[in-house]
Amino acid sequence: MSHAPHCNALIRRGIDDRDLYRRALRRVREPGLQALLAENLQTLDTLIGDLQAQVHATGGTPARHGTLAGSVRSALADMVTGMASNRDTAWVHYLARNECGLLHRFEEQMARASGDTARVLRVQLSRLYGIHKDMHCLAGTTHG
């Protein structure tokens, strides 16, 4: 059974999150936060590239674009963070909440995956846990 459709759903969600991180990186002011967001953005780039390579290796066509829901989340993020008294903090909280969705999707797929797909997802899940820890420590929240 091909896992390409499931991987493509993860790729699309990853692209959505990457686009949101790019948006946040252009809007936050604190240099340390900019550095962390740039690092997390690079991690998401790697994650997406690895998943696209996995889909291609199994004979599928990897997703190259995000989703309409991701575009809506980005527009909402601009509204929510634009009205905040501390925009940097608002971006951290927004990204932390949003990132949980991607992490949960990966955890669900990992439970179903096998073989090479499971190996690739395991590596990506490890990377996502790093982003998760970073963002939730900054936000002062627990994972959820």
What is the distance between the alpha carbons of residues 73 and 71, in angstroms, rounded to a whole number?
Answer: 5
pTM above 0.85, yes or no: yes
Nearest to 62 by CA among 47, 52, 75, 71: 52
Nearest to 106 by CA among 8, 10, 20, 41: 10
Structural domains in the chain plus CATH codes: 4-139 (1.20.1260.10)
Nearest to 115 by CA among 43, 56, 60, 54: 54
What integer pLDDT is reported at residue 142 of this predicted model? 46
* Regions of the chain where pLDDT drops below 70: 1-3, 141-144
Q: Are 96 and 136 in contact (CB under 8 A)?
A: yes
What integer pLDDT is reported at residue 141 of this predicted model? 59
What is the distance between the alpha carbons of residues 58 and 75, in angstroms, rounded to a whole number?
Answer: 35
What integer pLDDT is reported at residue 3 of this predicted model? 63
